[in-house]
């Protein structure tokens, strides 16, 4: 196997110049917290991340996720009309004061949940989607299990206080990532600062103050009750990297936002997300006794690399390829690998695969080619 080694990925990564502000312990005022990068799912900082705590209205991230999954699958549409039941109207807490049998579109109710944390709309959407709030809660817990949210037990779609309704900073990050990674249209709602419903008659103001006051903020959901105290899943994007900062049981509303900013600032200062690629076009690899003379290697797998900025700035790429192959060759067959290192540390290793299948020549095809070569040579 031959090797091709690049120089520094300076051209692609020259903008990532700052060195990280290392932190042994960040100034976060909360019982539990976690910082995660969206693309890779890598955890960058965490304290008590698996401690089971009340999430308050941060619960609604799962409610929103199930609604968005239904929309994106075609089972639900933004313009579908939802009627409010007496039960949905009885929720109390944060709400838009739905009247029994009042109808609103899925889009309007989703906006009310994302911006104003409307409990009545959360339950109305849950009932519309699953037939009842209890059936919807079963879906919530099933989805939590599928996402690996092992610290979680949901009892309602709202986060209103209920004994045993718990989750963790780790699990909130998992469902937050699933939402923003696979359903980016939710940003249309989570980035709204102020808006209206009912033809302008009812005003909405985002409970997440970072949307207005933090550069790159993209969401996501606040929550607070007397027992849960102040909670938040905050998302923000800068330079192509989106971070998720989870805060649970912070003493005050101001401290939860400041703590989230501390986590986000640390992540953006210390880390960079790079897309590693071969340093130059990869040469075809000859295929012996194949119907085609060669295959062209291509990169397989996710080329995203999350690392400390000083490591990103010193990244090197090494390409290892087979010198030749013997037919048959399958499409996607591994023919080499790309290894990304920094200061001798391997950051990533990705396979290089054949771009197409190549069948083996039959006996008669080989004979025909031999005769053609002999005739042409004569």
Is 2 considered catalytic here? no
250 tagged catalytic: no
Long-range contact pairs involving 190-199 (C-beta distance under 8 Å, separation at least 24): 190/114, 190/218, 190/219, 190/220, 190/221, 190/235, 191/217, 191/218, 191/219, 192/111, 192/114, 192/115, 195/111, 195/115, 197/96, 197/104, 197/108, 197/111, 197/112
Q: Which of 57, 122, 168, 348 is catalytic?
A: 57
- Residue 83's pLDDT is what? 97
For residue 2, what pLDDT is reported?
A: 59
Least trusted range by pLDDT, from 37-41, 71-75, 287-291: 287-291
pLDDT score at 126: 98
Q: Which residue from 267, 250, 259 is spatially nearest to 28, judged by alpha carbons?
A: 259
Given a cut of 70, whether residue 311 has pLDDT beyond it is: yes
Q: How far, in Å, CA of 34 to CA of 248, rounded?
A: 9
- pLDDT of 27: 93
Q: State yes or no: is 73 an active-site residue.
A: no
First-to-last C-alpha distance (Å) of the chain: 37
Q: At what angle do helices 169-182 and 133-146 cross, to 10 degrees?
A: 90
**Average pLDDT of 250-258?**
98
Neighbours of 4 (CB within 10 A): 16
Q: What is the pLDDT of residues 66-124, one digit of tens each?
A: 999 999 999 999 999 999 999 999 999 999 999 999 999 999 999 999 999 999 999 99
Average of pLDDT values for 322-328? 94
Q: Of the listed 38, 60, 309, 311, which one is catalytic?
A: 60
Mean of the per-residue pLDDT values of the chain: 92
pLDDT computed for residue 308 by the predictor: 93
Mean pLDDT over residues 321-343, rounded? Answer: 95
pLDDT for position 366: 75
pLDDT number for residue 16: 35
Tell me the percentage of the chain whose pLDDT exceeds 90. Answer: 85
Q: Which two tokens stand for residue 378?
A: 């004569």
Of the ranges 91-95, 243-247, 274-278, 326-330, which one carries the lowest mean pLDDT score?
274-278
Phi and psi at 157, nearest 5°, equal: -85, 0
Catalytic residue among 117, 122, 168, 342: 117
As beta bridge partners, residue 272 has 307
**pLDDT reported for residue 236:** 98
pTM of the model as a whole:
0.86
Mean pLDDT of 157-161: 97
Helix residue ranges, H only, the chain: 10-13, 60-73, 86-89, 106-116, 119-130, 133-146, 169-182, 187-190, 210-213, 253-270, 309-313, 363-377
Q: Give the lowest-confidence range in 29-43, 120-134, 360-374.
A: 360-374
Whether pLDDT at 139 is above 50: yes
247, 259 Cβ separation under 8 angstroms: yes
Size of the chain, expressed as the number of residues it contains: 378
């Amino acid at each position: 196997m031959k090797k091709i080694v690049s120089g520094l990925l300076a051209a692609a990564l020259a903008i990532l110049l700052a060195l990280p502000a290392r932190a042994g312990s960040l100034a976060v005022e909360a019982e539990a917290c976690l910082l995660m990068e969206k693309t890779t799912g890598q955890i960058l900082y965490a304290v008590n991340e698996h401690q089971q705590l009340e999430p308050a209205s941060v619960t609604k991230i799962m409610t929103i996720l199930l609604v968005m999954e239904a929309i994106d699958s075609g089972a639900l549409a933004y313009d579908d009309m939802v009627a409010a039941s007496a039960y949905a109207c009885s929720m109390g807490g944060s709400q838009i004061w739905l009247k029994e049998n009042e109808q609103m579109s899925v889009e309007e109710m989703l906006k009310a949940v994302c911006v104003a944390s409307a409990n009545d709309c959360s339950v109305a959407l849950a009932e519309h989607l699953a037939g009842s709030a209890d059936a919807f809660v079963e879906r919530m817990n099933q989805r939590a299990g599928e996402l690996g949210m092992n610290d979680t037990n949901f009892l309602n779609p709202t986060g209103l206080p209920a004994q045993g309704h718990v989750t963790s900073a780790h699990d909130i990050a998992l469902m937050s990532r699933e939402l923003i990674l696979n359903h980016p249209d939710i940003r249309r709602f989570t980035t709204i600062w102020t808006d209206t419903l009912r033809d302008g008659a009812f005003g909405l103001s985002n409970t997440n103050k970072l949307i207005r006051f933090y550069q790159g903020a993209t969401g996501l959901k606040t929550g607070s009750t007397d027992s849960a105290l102040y909670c938040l899943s905050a998302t923000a994007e800068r330079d192509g990297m989106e971070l998720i900062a989870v805060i649970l049981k912070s003493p005050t509303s101001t401290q939860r936002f400041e703590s989230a900013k501390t986590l986000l600032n640390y992540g953006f200062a210390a880390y960079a997300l790079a897309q590693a690629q071969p340093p130059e076009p990869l040469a075809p690899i000859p295929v012996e006794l194949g119907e085609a003379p060669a295959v062209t290697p291509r990169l397989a797998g996710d080329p995203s690399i999350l690392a400390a900025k000083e490591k990103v700035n010193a990244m090197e790429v090494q390409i290892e390829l087979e010198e030749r192959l013997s037919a048959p060759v399958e499409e996607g067959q591994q023919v080499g690998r790309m290894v990304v290192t920094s200061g001798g540390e391997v950051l990533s290793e990705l396979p290089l695969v054949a771009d197409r299948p190549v069948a083996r020549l039959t006996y008669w095809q080989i004979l025909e080619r031999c005769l053609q070569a002999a005739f042409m040579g004569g």
